[in-house]
Chains A and B, each alone.
Chain A
Amino acid sequence: MTDLTVELPGLDLKNPIMPASGCFGFGKEYAQLYDLSQLGAIMIKATTVETRLGNPTPRVAETASGMLNAIGLQNPGLEKVAGQELPWLEQYDVPIIANVAGTTTEDYVEVAKAISEAPNVHALEINISCPNVKLGGITFGTDPDVARELTRAVKEVSSVPVYIKLSPNVTDIVSIAKAVEEGGADGITMINTLLGMRMDTKTGRPIIANITGGLSGPAIKPVALRMVYEVSKHTKLPIIGMGGVTNVDDVIDFLSAGASAVAVGTANFVNPFVCPEIIGQLPERLHELGFDSVKELVGRSHRL
């Protein structure tokens, strides 16, 4: 029997696969298609204190083997997420990782404190890496001192373990990872999207209304793998890896690079059944590669 289980701070996962935040809403759309209890966990859409309408359209643009998005953290706000979305998800046997966003430290603290008390929220993912909002987001994730202090502030109020979601839009991602480790983070999730642009060739105008957007999809997998590899080498924090995962071999690669679990993002838009499909294929693929458990694979590239 292949062992797919993964134990991480706050998270006893039946398998290492979870949909990434922002690519799965609050689960309702995908619940029409399959039983969400199959998933290792669910990273729900970023939640802010107040309702956020997000950015004007167009918000997405396709690129070579990828896509740009600039949704801008549209969400119904803390009250509705805690009062409606999370209770609805309680019908499924799946731990929720709540993605927390804000424009000030106080925002992050307020959301983190309240949302971490929901019974099915087993961990927080602190979004210091959203590239699509003018205030907050990425500004917390590009300076190690700011990232460390925010981590401390959130850790103080959270009732569940805290994972910090790192931005790839930095020169030295290891320094940010080390800073959040010093700040008391329980884990890291990485990577968020890479800042990018697409032009309308005829008019010369950017296609995304926000001018820039975050690049995701298979195009970014090599960057994500490199960063997971570097961060896992230099910190002791467990990593939930993501960036361009579309199939079971991508999952194997992220585990090998040092991730303990893997999130699937954009691929959910291409194949809405991608998460359960990967979970179904994982035992056989592990067996073919000569492994009995997911845990054996974690960080194997560092041991070769």
Chain B
Amino acid sequence: MIKQERMQVVKQQEIAKHIFELTVQGELANEMAEPGQFVHIRVADSFEPLLRRPISVASIDMEASQFTMIYRAEGRGTGLLSEKKAGDLLDILGPLGHGFPVEEAQKKAYLIGGGIGVPPLYELAKQLNERGIETVHILGFESKQAVFYEDKFRELGDTHIATVDGSHGTQGFVTHILNELPSDFDTYYSCGPTAMLEAVQWAYPQKKGFLSYEQRMGCGIGACFACVCRTTKSETDYIKVCSDGPVFPAGVVIS
């Protein structure tokens, strides 16, 4: 169920260049159902900035009633969010949207992420491993400074890193790594820039895949019609990234 709660900040730290890891605690954490869902955060109690910020969830700890988010501080909203300290209260709405269907993977899954699309794949990897699914992680970043969670992913399965400038791992994009890897998986899950999602879909037309999309959002619950995309399912209707997604099966979203 969607809740609005003033959650307590447990911890916040910069884990890579401009990349922050923020853990909060409260009852809302117990509502988290699927990896890939997101929360909508009000970064100030004033109306400046006005709108909430959609932030993806990187890991969920039900026992402690906590969850951890990872985001890039790049604008005014996320900049203010990055100043929050342990003990501060944060107005959070969530969990929102539909996440990655973990039950779809049979034996082996590829998890393909780019930049700030990597975080939700971590909780996904944890849940898939708990179900006995072998996970292979292919993660792309701008440069070595922007890389995060490499060791954490490695603990869960084979992990391959690409950086655009070649300062760490393979030089180039995740697709360069994918070209070298066997296609011996049954399901792929991906989150990242739209161009990357497109490339991944092109690479594996025969495989079952699930992609998490991004769009400029307003309300986050499906009421404002801001974050729409065309879909292959209907010529007369859009799909909404916030409430119909953000995760869609491959081939559904026309981007």
Name A residues whose Cβ lies closer than 8 Å to a Cβ of B: 22-25, 28-30, 32-33, 51, 53-54, 57-67, 69, 71, 74, 76, 217-218, 246, 266, 268-273
Provided the pairs A29-B219, A32-B2, A60-B218 are in contact, do residues A217 and B50 lie with their beta carbons within 8 angstroms? yes
Question: How far is the CB of B53 from the nearest CB of chain A, in Å?
Answer: 10
Instruction: Return the chain B residue nearest A54 by Cβ.
Output: B225
Q: List 11 A-B contacts (CB under 8 A).
A: A22-B224, A23-B223, A29-B222, A33-B2, A54-B225, A62-B49, A65-B47, A69-B226, A74-B225, A269-B218, A269-B219
Stretch at the interface among B136-144, B151-159, B236-244: B236-244
Instruction: Return the chain A residue nearest B219 by Cβ.
Output: A269
Residues on the A chain within 8 Å of B93, using CB: 272
Instruction: Return the chain B residue nearest A208 by Cβ.
Output: B216
Residues on the A chain within 8 Å of B51, using CB: 62, 67, 269-270
Provided the pairs A246-B47, A269-B51 are in contact, do residues A57 and B223 lie with their beta carbons within 8 angstroms? no
B39-69 at interface with A (beta carbon < 8 Å): 42, 47-52
Residues on the B chain within 8 Å of A63, using CB: 50
Instruction: Return the chain B residue nearest A30 by Cβ.
Output: B223
Asked whether, in the complex, the Cβ of A59 is within 8 Å of the Cβ of B50, the reply is no
Asked whether, in the complex, the Cβ of B224 is within 8 Å of the Cβ of A71, the reply is yes
Interface SS majority for chain A: loop
Question: How far is the CB of B226 from the nearest CB of chain A, in Å?
Answer: 4
Question: How far is the CB of B198 from the nearest CB of chain A, in Å?
Answer: 16
Name B residues whose Cβ lies closer than 8 Å to a Cβ of A: 1-2, 4, 42, 47-52, 93, 215-229, 236-238, 243
Given contacts A58-B216, A269-B51, A271-B4, 6 further A-B contacts (CB under 8 A): A33-B221, A57-B215, A59-B228, A60-B216, A60-B218, A69-B226
Residues on the A chain within 8 Å of B216, using CB: 57-61
Residues on the A chain within 8 Å of B47, using CB: 65, 217-218, 246, 270
Residues on the B chain within 8 Å of A64, using CB: 48
Provided the pairs A57-B216, A65-B50, A217-B47 are in contact, do residues A268 and B223 lie with their beta carbons within 8 angstroms? yes
Asked whether, in the complex, the Cβ of A60 is within 8 Å of the Cβ of B221, the reply is no
Alpha-carbon gap, A76 to B237, bound state (A): 8
Asked whether, in the complex, the Cβ of B50 is within 8 Å of the Cβ of A62, the reply is yes
Question: How far is the CB of B3 from the nearest CB of chain A, in Å?
Answer: 9
Question: How far is the CB of A59 from the nearest CB of chain B, in Å?
Answer: 5
7 smallest beta-carbon distances between A and B, as pairs:
A269-B219, A60-B226, A29-B223, A25-B223, A29-B221, A218-B47, A29-B222
Residues on the A chain within 8 Å of B50, using CB: 62-63, 65-67, 217-218, 266, 270
B2, B93, B224, most chain A CB atoms within 10 A: B224
Alpha-carbon gap, A74 to B223, bound state (A): 11
